């Protein structure tokens, strides 16, 4: 049983007010988050993105979320004997309305000490709209619901990594420029950047995945690094949200090291941005609870089954690549039986279940 279900004493079956209650809270929180972004943009929005938002659409989406959150909150209270979820949803909507609702005036701009609340809200919205229906329609494990055990922990990982986006991006990009400027060769960079963008994109996928493979294996092989990476492997249920269970140290170090060869080789920004969008979707997709079979393609491209075996309780240390299984075949770590694994996670289940405990666990002396 998951934390949410256990701590709230809810009956999680359909028609008992749990599902509508959770949706009420999630939608109301998204709406309130949107209102807060309008009111306090210099604290809560990403400076580079502010100019790009279509405000009318943003206000309309906030409106829809608040109305739906309120309606589902009322439904949940009516259906459920215990009402904290529904009431929380309604409470969040009331707070949002007191702050001005979807028509809240825009606060003063300026300052750079921002949390990426806008980035978090945007990603929750887009990814949930994409992956929740996909996993409902093509579920590998249909009995595994959206609110499976551990989903709140994963949502906390998702929220924090997106709220801190400005810090983590800086920490990801800085080491390459600080420590590897010596390796840059202007003429070689010019040659790389002058190639067709599609070719550059393919090269980036190969280079980044080779680097990712090496760093990933290191995280599995070196005990003090494994503590950080073990958090990612502690998931016992695989779905799109499980992909975000990554310790901040793991996320920053892996991305920073994978970025080094891209920086040194000097690919042009367009293909690099295209790759960043691609990798963020692909890395989530390979965790998803979907039963797609890719047949011949499975040997070439990282698929959910390929990465699910990386998360299997046994055997361990297989399928380190994200995009290109051929790298694992080259280095003898490829593992691809006909079916999905039966169980996920680490034998003995050493990692704590709550977010904050997971954050400090790798630093603990008792290990
Ligand atoms: Zn791993
Ligand atoms: Zn994974």
> What rounded mean pLDDT belongs to the chain?
90
**CA of 38: how far to CAs of 52, 90, 97, 130, 262, in Å?**
14, 20, 13, 25, 36
Going from the Cα of 269 to the center of ligand 2, the distance in angstroms, rounded, reads: 27
Ligand nearest to the Cα of 212, by number: 1
Q: What per-residue string of b and e applies to 152-173 under the rule 16 or more CB within 10 Å gives b?
A: bbbbbbbbbbbbbbbebbebbe
Going from the Cα of 305 to the center of ligand 2, the distance in angstroms, rounded, reads: 11
**The pLDDT of residue 203:** 97
| Predicted confidence (pLDDT) per residue in 122-159, tens digit | 888 899 889 999 999 999 999 998 889 999 999 999 99
Going from the Cα of 174 to the center of ligand 1, the distance in angstroms, rounded, reads: 24
Backbone φ, ψ for residue 341 (5° rounding): -65, 155
Going from the Cα of 335 to the center of ligand 1, the distance in angstroms, rounded, reads: 14
CA 328 to chain centre: 24
230 band by pLDDT with thresholds 50, 70 and 90: very high
112 band by pLDDT with thresholds 50, 70 and 90: low
**The pLDDT of residue 366:** 63
Q: CB 238: neighbour CB atoms within 10 A?
A: 26
**The pLDDT of residue 80:** 82
CA distance 114 to 105: 19
Going from the Cα of 229 to the center of ligand 2, the distance in angstroms, rounded, reads: 10
CA 133 to chain centre: 17
In this predicted structure, the answer to whether residue 367 has a pLDDT above a threshold of 80 is: no
Instruction: Assess contact for 250 and 292: CB atoms under 8 A.
Output: no
Going from the Cα of 219 to the center of ligand 1, the distance in angstroms, rounded, reads: 7
In this predicted structure, the answer to whether residue 3 has a pLDDT above a threshold of 50 is: no
**The pLDDT of residue 108:** 74
């Amino acid at each position: 049983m998951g934390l949410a279900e256990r701590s709230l004493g809810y009956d999680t079956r359909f028609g008992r007010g749990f599902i509508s209650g959770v949706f009420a809270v999630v939608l109301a929180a998204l709406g309130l988050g949107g209102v807060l972004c309008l009111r306090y943009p210099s604290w809560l929005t990403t400076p580079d993105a502010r100019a790009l938002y279509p405000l009318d659409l943003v206000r309309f989406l906030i409106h829809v979320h608040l109305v739906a959150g309120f309606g589902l909150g009322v439904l949940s209270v009516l259906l459920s004997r215990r009402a904290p979820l529904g009431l929380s949803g309604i409470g969040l909507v009331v707070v949002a309305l007191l702050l001005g609702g979807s028509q809240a005036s825009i606060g003063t701009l300026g300052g750079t000490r921002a949390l990426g609340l806008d980035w978090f809200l945007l990603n929750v919205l887009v990814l949930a709209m994409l992956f929740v229906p996909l996993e409902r329609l093509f579920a590998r494990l249909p009995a595994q619901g959206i609110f499976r055990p551990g989903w709140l922990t994963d949502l906390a990982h998702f929220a924090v990594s997106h709220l801190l986006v400005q810090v983590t991006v800086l920490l990801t990009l800085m080491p390459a420029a600080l420590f590897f400027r010596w390796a840059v060769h202007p003429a070689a960079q010019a040659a790389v950047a002058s190639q067709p963008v599609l070719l550059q994109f393919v090269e980036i996928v190969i280079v980044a995945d080779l680097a990712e493979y090496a760093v990933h294996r290191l995280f599995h092989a070196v005990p003090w690094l494994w503590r950080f990476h073990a958090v990612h492997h502690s998931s016992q249920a695989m779905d799109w949200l499980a992909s975000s269970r990554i310790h901040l140290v793991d996320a920053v170090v892996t991305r920073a090291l994978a970025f080094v060869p891209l920086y040194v080789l000097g690919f042009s920004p367009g293909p690099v941005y295209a790759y960043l969008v691609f990798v963020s979707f692909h890395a989530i997709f390979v965790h998803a609870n979907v039963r797609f079979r890719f047949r011949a393609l499975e040997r070439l491209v990282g698929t959910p089954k390929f990465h699910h075996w990386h998360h299997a309780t046994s055997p361990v240390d297989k399928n380190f690549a994200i995009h290109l299984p051929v790298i694992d075949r080259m280095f003898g770590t490829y593992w691809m039986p006909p079916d999905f694994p039966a169980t996920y996670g680490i034998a003995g289940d050493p990692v704590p279940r709550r977010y904050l405990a997971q954050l400090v666990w790798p630093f603990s002396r008792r290990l």
